[in-house]
Structure 1
Amino acid sequence: MTLHRPHDAREIAEIVRHAGAENHTLEIVAGGSKRAFGRPVRAAQQLNLSKLAGLVSYEPRELVLTARPGAPLADIDEALRAEGQMLAFEPPQWLNLLGGAGTPTLGGVLACNLSGPRRLRAGAARDFILGFSAVNGRGEMFKAGGKVVKNVTGFDLSKLMVGSFGALAILTEVTLKVAPRPETQCTLLLPGLSDAKAFDVMARALNTPHEISAAAHLPELSARRAHLAAEGPLTALRLEGPAPSVAYRAAETEKLFGGGVRLEAEASALFWREVAEVRALLPDGAPLVWRACPTPSRAAAIVAAVREKLPGAEAFYEWGGGLVWLSLDPAEAGPDCGAAVVRGALDGQGHATLVVAPETARASVEVFQPVEPALAALEARVKAGFDPLGLFNPGRMREGV
């Protein structure tokens, strides 16, 4: 496979024009850490964005950062941390989950629209993009959005790019809103709750004025694998902010639910890193992992329905029940990796994505939630508008797209 490592947008545009003229498809890669997420790309050449790294500009007083797609997340976090700021959507890295290869980058996180535990309070990755520069499938450089919120007008192409898995355009610069980093945090652990009771507790907590920034439920097996090595299920509620405020809100939350165990500061941060990175809470080497997004009130029933047909299934819950992680036994799941069972349990009310599976399975199974014909036709038209020759990441999301 021919490998391209361009240094700037003009080089990318030239490579794309040449690929179009020669009818060569392109796999778009930044750090390579998310290559195992989605369907395998069968492309003639690879366009690697690792040379397009670094910060372009950072204005801490304006809470705005512009960076290139190959910028490692670790470098961005270091720059933000020095100014007491952060990416509010708490991007997970998923290194161990997806096999440990590559370097997590800003481009990879945005291409996959990955958000961590704070998503239920702060919003998703796509909610923080203000503007971008990119190259389309015709080899044309273009821009959308701006560097301040008031300049972001018209159809929001920025949000369209986030979560498109590199199938529409090649990002060359991205401008994001950033946020102040909380002074401290603590997590209230409520042990021993059933799934159904835990969802009631999380819903009540999220509806209080105490500004819970993350809520998760770990059934017994997942809780035992966490660094806390708990002996039963754990329901976790995180509070962040100035130390006096966190202390007061934690005390009020404890009163509401009759006590609990507190994790302070670093212990709390470690716990939520485990939740965000997923792998430590699943069986060792789990070969089939699904990520389902149901209505939170139905999450426990969905897992129960999956277990009726696949008794070896394990699960834990993020986002107050709005995100369910499922690990399946391949011997039970069958050739479709459990797709019919998992999506059947959702019953059209939510969506499910196959995150971890062998490459051969990801090539044959619908990795992403199937869409209705009208929506599929719309997807195809959008793809044709940006990438008329179908050069970028062919088949990454769906066959023929």
Structure 2
Amino acid sequence: MKVESERQLAEAVRDATEPLQIVGGGTRPVGAGVGRQLEVAIRGVSLYEPAALTLVVGAGTPLREVEALLAAEGQRLPFEPVRWGPVLGAKGESTIGGVVAANVSGPRRVQAGACRDSLIGVRFVDGTGASVKNGGRVMKNVTGYDLVKLLAGSWGTLGVLSEVSFKLLPAAYTHATLVLPDLTAGDAVAALAVALGSPYDVTGAGWLPGEGALIRVEGLADSVAYRAGRLAETLGRFGAIRIEREGGATLWHDLGEVAPFKGRPGNLWRFSVKPSDAPGLVARLGCPVVLDWGGGLVWALTAEGVDARTQAAPFGGHATLMRGSGAGVFHPEPAPLAALARGLRARFDPRGIFNPGRMG
């Protein structure tokens, strides 16, 4: 079933007599799909004010259309959304509502924050079929519950997004990527920490198999050249360094979309940990990895059926099975947090029809 307006969406929810599997473009098939599929195709721009750096858009609008619109005005979404469809084996087209529902944030998160940090307003339909609005077109609001942050990363379990609002940033004029090819994943974390702790406004810090450690700076040409040069001096003790200009964009695309693991068999895990714990986690896992966010995000490709959470248990953090089988998908929540989550679901989805079992 496809809905193309908020009215149709509300009617579909009110009339539902069975669980609903909420989808946008179908590019993030994470967790078990249960019930009748409800495709949200509410598209179009409600408001775009380049001078105010504000965008309001239908949740079913393809991400590529949003990015093209912003690029034409020299602007961008701050959190650098990435597409997981190829590495997850999905063939759909990513939508902006799906980005919000999964709180998808790319390499620039280390400098600009996550998707939820750029989200300033939402409209959604709750489990009773009621339309709800929270937030607005500016950052300051005093509406009580921060449903904007709550809906981001809820994976369609609390409500079905119909419209989302963002604050924007100007696009970077130029960029440079420092590549340290001699560093292993475990050794790279120390260099990434030095770069992120420097005053040179790093906008990306990760490690890519076959390339090494990657560090990005962006901005005006003279500033980028200066900061890249100073970073190279600062990081000289970690070994050889080369500086990529235009070619650096491909490296960050491959890092954010976990391109090295596309089409490779196995379970694909996503770990969020303290960056200082990344070397220990990587050593314990003993499998191919990709690092982002200075080591705070670890993608790991394990053998099929492996529950990597047991290997990562000593390091805390959070683990999600993004692709594969033989284990639970989302990390078990501590009892107090699980109780809070159940209470929220009971409030916003009293019939339990939205993506049941996906996160619980």
Q: Same fold (TM over 0.5)?
A: yes
Superposition pairs of residues 238-253 of structure 1, within 5 angstroms: 238-253=216-231
Matching residue of 1:269? 249
Return closer, same or farther for 1:152/1:132 CA change in 2, 3 Å cut-off.
Answer: farther
CA distances 1:151-172 after superposition (whole Å, capped 9, x unpaired): 2543211010011111111111
The aligned amino acid for 2:296 is G
Count of aligned residue pairs for this structure pair: 357
**Offset at 1:194?**
3.5
Return closer, same or farther for 1:367/1:207 CA change in 2, 3 Å cut-off.
Answer: same
**SS in structure 2 at match of 1:193:** coil
Unaligned runs of 5+ in 2: none
**In 1: Cα distance, 2:265 partner to 2:48 partner:** 40
- Between the aligned residues of both structures, percent identity stands at 40
CA distances 1:91-139 after superposition (whole Å, capped 9, x unpaired): 1111211113111000111111111011111111111111111111111
CA distances 1:288-320 after superposition (whole Å, capped 9, x unpaired): 11011111111011111122xxxxx21121111
Question: Where do 4+ consecutive residues of structure 1 move more than 6 Å?
Answer: none
2:199 to 185, 197, 209: 209
**In 2: Cα distance, 1:271 partner to 1:199 partner:** 18
CA distances 1:5-60 after superposition (whole Å, capped 9, x unpaired): 222112211111111xxx321111111112x22x21210x222112x112111011
Q: Report whether the alignment pairs 1:13 with 2:10.
A: yes
**In 2: Cα distance, 1:272 partner to 1:338 partner:** 28
Q: Report whether the alignment pairs 1:49 with 2:40.
A: yes
Superposition pairs of residues 79-228 of structure 1, within 5 angstroms: 79-151=69-141, 153-218=143-208, 222-223=209-210
Answer whether contact 2:276 2:295 (CA < 8 A) is retained. yes
The TM-score, its normalising length taken from structure 2, stands at 0.95
Answer whether contact 1:130 1:152 (CA < 8 A) is retained. no
**SS in structure 2 at match of 1:121:** helix
Matching residue of 2:302? 328
The aligned amino acid for 1:316 is V
**In 1: Cα distance, 2:133 partner to 2:161 partner:** 10
**In 1: Cα distance, 2:285 partner to 2:32 partner:** 27
Matching residue of 1:226? none
The RMSD of aligned alpha carbons is 1.5
The aligned amino acid for 1:42 is V
The aligned amino acid for 1:239 is V
CA distances 1:361-386 after superposition (whole Å, capped 9, x unpaired): 2xx62111101222212111100100
Return closer, same or farther for 1:126/1:209 CA change in 2, 3 Å cut-off.
Answer: same
Matching residue of 1:333? none
The TM-score, its normalising length taken from structure 1, stands at 0.86
**SS in structure 2 at match of 1:96:** helix
Matching residue of 2:356? 394
**SS in structure 2 at match of 1:317:** strand
Answer whether contact 1:294 1:346 (CA < 8 A) is retained. no
